[in-house]
A and B are shown apart, each in its own frame.
Chain A
C-alpha cells in the first residue's frame, strides 16, 4: 500500500485543497480508503485525521470499506420513483438479502441507491459498473445482475 500512496502523493504539492483529488486517486488505486491511507493523507497534508475522515465520510462516492467487484446503483430520483424504482430495489433486496450500501457476501456486487442520475427521460434507470440502463423493470435488472461474474 505504501508504494501506491507514495505514487499518489508524488503528483501533488501538499496543499489542503488537494485533499479530495488525493482521496479520489487513492480510491482508484486501492478500491477504497483504508484507515491507514486516510492517516497517510492527513500526514501528507498536515491535517488532523478527523478532517480527512470527515470529508471521506460525507461524500457517497468515497468508500471507507471494501466494495464488491461490481456496482449496481438504483436511481431513486422522483421521476424514477414515479415510474417504479421502488419495486426494482425491493426485488434486488429480496433476491440477494441485501440493503443499499451493502455488498454481497461473495463480494460480487455492492448495491447503492442513488439520488438521481439525471436520466429522467428513461425512468426507471439503473447503473451497472458505470453503464446506464433505461426503462428498466425488476426482471430486466435481475437479469443484468445474473450476468455479472
Chain B
C-alpha cells in the first residue's frame, strides 16, 4: 500500500468511528482511569445497555490529562451534545447509559464539559475548562480522543505525515530542520536534539541505533507514560524519523518496569506499524529499513541515565559508563547511538509535518516549543497539561491546577522530580523553561510540578528523596554512594531531633563534593534538593536543629510529635 492508500483507509475508519451509527462511548482507560475504576465503569455501561436493549460502541481511549476527574466517559450520539462526564461511578455510568444513550438526553448534572461545541445547560466547552485554558494541545492533540490500539486513528489525524515528508527529504535536511526548530531534550537536561542527531549522523560506522528512553524514573513525573498510553505511534514515528535522519537501522524502546500496561500498548502499536509497512524493510517503500525492539519489565532509576540504560539493554548491571566516549560515538554495542526521551522524539513528527518555524512560534527563544507538565501533590486538579515553555508556575499551579485543595496555603514547589529542587511561593511568577529557574537554584527538569501545602515539612519530603537516592545509587562511585548515605543520615537525625549546629555546613560540603566528583548525573544532581532547601527554607532547618521543633509538626522530633 502507498501512504496515500494507507491514509485513505485510515480516514474511512475514523469517519466510521466518529460518525458511525448509534452512540459512541469513550472511556478513559489509561492507568489513571484504571486506578480510578474504569473497568467497573465499562462493565456497568455494557450491562445497562444490555438491560435496556440498546447498542453502542464502547471504546477504551487514553487520557485527556484531566486525571483528577477519572474515570472519564465521553458520549457522542448524533443529534445530541457530545458530553464528557467526570468522576463517573458505576452507578452514574448506568444513569448515563439509560439517559444519554438510551433516551438521547445528556445529563448536565453529571457533565464536566461538552466536546462538540454544542451548548448544554451551563456546561462549559472542553477548551474552556480552567484546566484546559491556554494549553497548546500539540503533543496532546490525540490523547484521550483516539483509540491507542488503532493505528488508523493516528494516521487519520495527521499521523505518519511527518515521516512521509522526511522520506522525501535528504537525511541532512531532516537534521537541519530539527536543528532550526531549536528542540531541546525533554528528558531533563535540555541538550539540543538536532545537534545530538548530527553527531550520530557524522559518526563513523554503518550500524547505528535510536534508543527511546521511557524509563521515567523521576518520582512525580508521568508525562511519558501518559503520552505512550494515549498516543503510542507518536513515539514510533519520531523514532523512525530519527532513524532515517542519522542512518540508524534499529530502534530500541526501554520501558520502565512499573508500567506493565504500557508494554502491551507498545507491542500492539509496533505490530501495527510493521503490518502497514511503516517500519521494517523499506519503510513506505523508501530506501530505508528500520527494526523496532521493545525492552520491558526490568528497570531502576539509574537505568534512566543514558549510559546506564545502554548497559541494561546489553543485559548488564545499569552502571553508568565513563565519558567520553559519548553514546553518539560509542553507544549500544559500542556503536553510534541516539538516546532521546520519549517526549523529545514525539516532537519530531510535529516539526517535520508543520515545519521548524511553526514549532518555534511557541515558547521562549532559548526554549522553543510546548512542553508536557505533570501536576501532582497538594493541587486541586492533578494531571498532565501542555503549555508553551516559559509559562509561569502560577499559571500551572493556580490556573491549570486550580490551586491548593480547600484553600490551603502554598508551602513549597518541587520541580523536575528529585533533581530539580525546592522553590518557595515567592517564585510563582518565574517562567518555567530550561534556563530561567537556574538563578533560583532550581531546574525545570522533566516538567514535574509537585505541590506541597503549608502543613508539610520540607525536611520530611527531603528525607523521602534521600532514602530514594541512596537506594538508587548504583554504588560504583564513592562520592554518590557515600554522599547520598551521609546526607540521608544527617537529615534523618535532624528530623528526629538529633540535629547538630554543624549539620547544615556539612550538608553543603558533602553536596559540593558530590556535584563535582560523582561519575554521573545521579550523584551530581542528588544534592540539589538538599541545597535548594537550605537556600530557601533555612528557617526550617534552624527550627529543627536550633529549637528542636518541627514547625509543621510532621517530623518525629525526640521520638514524639511536637507542635510549634
Chain A residues close to B by CB (< 8 Å): 16-21, 24, 54-55, 58-62, 76-79, 81-83, 114-123, 125, 127, 130-135
- CB <8 Å contact, A58 and B318: yes
Contact A82 B68, CB 8 Å, known A115-B219, A118-B259, A134-B35: no
Contact of A115 among B31, B225, B375, B472 (CB under 8 A): B472
| Chain A interface helix/strand/loop/mixed | mixed
Docked CA distance A17–B312 (Å):
9
Please tell me which stretch of B97-105, B296-304, B503-511, B533-541 contacts chain A, meaning at least 4 of its Cβ atoms lie within 8 angstroms of it.
B296-304
- CB <8 Å contact, B316 and A55: yes
- CB <8 Å contact, A115 and B35: no
The reply to whether the CB of B67 lies closer than 8 angstroms to some CB of chain A is yes
- CB <8 Å contact, B450 and A120: yes
The reply to whether the CB of B243 lies closer than 8 angstroms to some CB of chain A is no
The reply to whether the CB of B116 lies closer than 8 angstroms to some CB of chain A is no
Identity of the chain B residue whose Cβ is nearest the Cβ of A77 in the assembled complex: B219
List residues of chain A with CB within 8 A of the CB of B452. Answer: 82
Docked CA distance A76–B469 (Å):
12
B 246-260 to A, binary, CB cutoff 8 A, 1 in contact else 0? 000000000011111
Docked CA distance A106–B128 (Å):
54
List residues of chain B with CB within 8 A of the CB of A60. Answer: 257, 300
Question: Across the A-B interface, how many residue pairs have beta carbons closer than 8 Å?
Answer: 135
List residues of chain B with CB within 8 A of the CB of A118. Answer: 31, 216, 221-222, 225, 256, 258-259
Those of B251-305 within 8 Å (CB) of chain A: 256-260, 295, 297-301
- CB <8 Å contact, B68 and A20: no
Those of B208-239 within 8 Å (CB) of chain A: 216-222, 225
Contact A121 B315, CB 8 Å, known A76-B468, A78-B461, A132-B34: no
Docked CA distance A130–B298 (Å):
14
- CB <8 Å contact, B219 and A17: no
Contact A61 B299, CB 8 Å, known A55-B317, A121-B374: yes
Docked CA distance A54–B298 (Å):
14
List residues of chain B with CB within 8 A of the CB of A76. Answer: 464, 467-468
- CB <8 Å contact, B34 and A78: no
CB distance from A147 to the nearest CB of B (A): 15
- CB <8 Å contact, A61 and B374: no
- CB <8 Å contact, B377 and A82: yes
Contact of A62 among B298, B314, B467 (CB under 8 A): B298
Most A CB contacts (10 A, CB to CB) among B217, B219, B452 go to B219
Contact of A116 among B31, B220, B314, B333 (CB under 8 A): B220
List residues of chain A with CB within 8 A of the CB of B217. Answer: 115-116
Name 30 A/B residue pairs within 8 A (Cβ), A-sorted: A17-B314, A20-B298, A59-B257, A61-B257, A77-B220, A78-B461, A79-B220, A81-B461, A81-B464, A82-B461, A115-B219, A115-B300, A115-B472, A116-B221, A118-B256, A118-B259, A119-B31, A119-B32, A119-B35, A120-B222, A120-B377, A121-B32, A121-B68, A121-B382, A121-B384, A122-B32, A122-B70, A122-B382, A123-B377, A132-B34
- CB <8 Å contact, A78 and B300: no
Identity of the chain A residue whose Cβ is nearest the Cβ of B63 in the assembled complex: A121
Contact of B376 among A20, A21, A121 (CB under 8 A): A121
Name the 10 nearest CB pairs between A and B, nearest first: A121-B67, A120-B376, A134-B35, A121-B382, A19-B315, A77-B219, A118-B222, A116-B219, A132-B35, A81-B464
The reply to whether the CB of B62 lies closer than 8 angstroms to some CB of chain A is no
Docked CA distance A132–B313 (Å):
27
CB distance from A40 to the nearest CB of B (A): 16
The reply to whether the CB of B433 lies closer than 8 angstroms to some CB of chain A is no
- CB <8 Å contact, B468 and A134: no
Identity of the chain A residue whose Cβ is nearest the Cβ of B472 in the assembled complex: A115
Docked CA distance A133–B70 (Å):
12
Contact A78 B464, CB 8 Å, known A59-B299, A59-B300, A121-B374: yes
